[in-house]
Amino acid sequence: MPTSKEDLAKLTKLGKGAASKAERSLEVFPNHSGDLEVELHCTEFTCRCPLTNQPDYAEIMINYTPDKYVVESKSMKLYLETYRDVGVFHEHLAVDIGKDFVKFVKPKKCEVNVMFNVRGGIAISAKWKMK
């Protein structure tokens, strides 16, 4: 089924170029498939250490099974951008992203995996799953 004008009607960030503002919200469009699994793979995530303010770099994987809605990817990109200058522990980040994702997208299933690069000889990964 092709994307319809009704599918696009509520999207405010897609196609707006630099006018799109990074914010902690996600936009969605209707899921036309009964059986769909989606994987979002962000390879260029950055945030800051909450104590030292040093930059941290990570890959983020979000795997989910949509119910009525699918997340619009540009709004996801802008959402993740809001963490760029935020001090957050890696483990807290997985939980925060997961809970926000569920709040806005309302998927059947969701899993968020954050995989941080090595810093100080340790690489940290944290996984959050919807219950």
Residue 10 is classified by DSSP as T
Residue of 56, 67, 96, 100 marked catalytic: 56
Six-digit token string for 113: 């995996």
Judge whether 49 counts as a catalytic residue: yes
Sign of the alpha-carbon dihedral angle for 59, 122, 82, 102: positive
- Separation CA 64–CA 58 (nearest Å): 19
Residues 95 and 54: beta-carbon distance below 8 Å: no
Residue of 7, 42, 49, 100 marked catalytic: 49
Q: Which residues, at least 6 apart from 53, have a Cβ–Cβ distance to it below 8 Å?
A: 87
Judge whether 56 counts as a catalytic residue: yes
Residues serving a catalytic function are 49, 56
